[in-house]
Amino acid sequence: FLPMVARSFLPQWVFGLALLVVLSLWHHRLLLGAGALVGLVLASGQLRAPVSQAMPGFHGQGITIAHLNLLQPNRDKTEAIRAALAQGADLLAFQEVDTVWAARLEEKLAVSHPHRLVVPRTDCYGIALYSRLPLQDLHAVDLVGSPAITATLPLDNSALRLWSVHARSPGGLDDMRRRNRQLQLLGEHLGRNASRTVVIGDLNTVSWDDAFWALCTTTGLRAQGDAFAATFPALMGAALIPIDHVLVGRELTATKHTFTIPGSDHLGLLSTVRPCP
C-alpha cells in the first residue's frame, strides 16, 4: 500500500530528484548527484500513461460533458452548481452526492437538464447524471458496493455509451484492493467492444498506476488530453495528482480541460467528445 501511495506522487519525485541532481553538482557532491540521477531515471521511466494519439482534426457532432466531484460536506453549493452550469455542457456528472446535494441539484438543474438519474448516499459515493439530451438505457450499476451510472445517447448517427464512475478512495490496503476490484469489474462490464464508450469520473488512481493500465488494456480505452493534468487535492486552482479522468474508445476523440469547483477538493473536468475523423 505505501509504495502505491508513493508512486502516486511520481511527478513530484521526478522534480525533487532533478533538483537534487542540480544542487549536488553545484556543490560538487558527485556521489549524491549520481545516486539522485539513477533515481531520476528510474522514476521517469515509470511516468507513463495510455494516451490516444492526437487526431488531425475533429469530425461530426460533439457532446460536451462536465465532471464534478462536489465534496459531500461542501458548503458552497450554490457557487459549485453555478460553476457547473457555466461550463455549458450537455451532460453534468456529479459525485459525492448526498440527499442535501440531490435536492439542490434538482432545484437548479431539472429544467435545463431534465434527463437525469440521482443516486444519493451518505458515504461520499453518491452519484448523479443530468443531461439536456435524451438518454437511453439510463441506470445505475453496482461496482463492489459503490454505484456507477451508465447511459446511451446519440452521436453522429450512431450511439455513444457513457459511464460516470467514482472508484473507492485507497485510504488503506483493503480500500486499495476494493478500488482495484471496482476497476476490474468496470472493465468486465465494458468488455473489449468499448470502441464508442466514454468513461469519466474520479477513478482514485493515477494514469501510471497498474490498475489504471489494466483497465485500459482490457477495454482498449485511452486517456485524453493531458493525462498528467492534476485534479486533486485542489487549492486555488492548482492540484498535485491526476485522479479524475476521461477515457474514450478507439472510435472517439476528446478534449479535456480542468476548472475550479468552489468549495471542493477536486478540480472539475470538461470534455468534448467527437467521433474520430
The answer to whether 172 touches 179, Cβ cutoff 8 Å, is no
- Burial of residue 175 (CB within 10 Å: 0-12, 13-18, 19+) is middle
Task: Tell me the per-residue pLDDT of 53-64, one tens digit each, with 9 for 90 and over.
Answer: 555 455 557 999
CA distances from 9 to 61, 69, 195, 253 (A): 37, 20, 31, 28
pLDDT score for 56: 47
Task: Give the residue with greater pLDDT, 146 vs 51.
Answer: 146
- Torsion sign across C-alpha atoms 93, 177, 225, 50: negative
Mean pLDDT value across residues 185-198: 92
Mean pLDDT, rounded, of the chain: 91
- Domain positions in the chain are 2-46, 63-275
Cross-strand bridge partners of residue 140: 149
The answer to whether 130 touches 109, Cβ cutoff 8 Å, is yes
Task: Tell me the per-residue pLDDT of 88-144, one tens digit each, with 9 for 90 and over.
Answer: 999 999 999 999 999 999 999 999 999 999 999 999 999 999 999 999 999 999 999
Task: Tell me the per-residue pLDDT of 1-16, one tens digit each, with 9 for 90 and over.
Answer: 566 677 778 778 778 8
pTM: 0.90
Class of the 63-275 domain?
alpha beta
Q: Residue 233, preceding bond cis, omega within 30 degrees? A: yes
